[in-house]
Amino acid sequence: MKMLAVLAALCGAIAVGAGALGAHGASGDAAKWLTTGAHYQLIHVVAALVAVRMEARGPAWLFVAGGAIFAGTLYLMALGLPRWLGAITPIGGALLIAGWLWLAWSARGAA
C-alpha cells in the first residue's frame, strides 16, 4: 500500500506540473490537452488515496494506472509526439471507469 501511495503522490506532482505548463507555457490544442490531463489525473490521485485508506487496492491501482495512461497520452501529444497516441487515451479512461465501478462494489460490502 505504501508504494501505491507514493506512486499516487508522484502522479499528483506530475499533474500539477502539466497543469501549470498548460496554463502558462502552451497554447491551442497543447494547452487543452495538458489542462484536461491534469484535471483527470489530479481527481484520480485523490480517488486512489481514498481507495488506499479504504483498503481497496484494486480500484486504487486502476485509478493510478488509468490516470497515468489517460493523462500521459495527452501530455505526450501536447509535447509534440504523434496524435495517434490519442487512440490509447480511451484505454486509460476505461481503467478509470472500471476503478470507480470496483470501488462502488467494494464499498457496497463495507456499509
- Interatomic CA distance for residues 12 and 81, integer angstroms: 22
With pLDDT > 90 as the criterion, what percentage of the chain qualifies?
Answer: 94
Closest CA to 64 of 50, 75, 54, 77: 50
Alpha carbon 108 to its chain's center: 24
- Interatomic CA distance for residues 31 and 73, integer angstroms: 14
pTM of the model: 0.94
Model confidence at 82, pLDDT cuts 50, 70, 90, reads very high
Strands in 1-107 per DSSP E: none
- pLDDT digit string, tens, across residues 34-77: 999 999 999 999 999 999 999 999 999 999 999 999 999 999 99
Extract the C-alpha cell encoding 68.
497515468
Give how many domains the chain has, as a whole number. 1
Q: How many CB atoms are closer than 10 A to CB 65?
A: 20
- Interatomic CA distance for residues 59 and 106, integer angstroms: 9
Query: What is the model's pLDDT at position 1?
Result: 81
Torsion, CA 32, CA 27, CA 88, CA 3, rounded to 10: -80
Domain of 74 in residue numbering reads as: 2-110
- Asked if 11 and 41 count as a contact pair (C-beta separation under 8 A), the reply is yes
Query: What is the model's pLDDT at position 110?
Result: 63
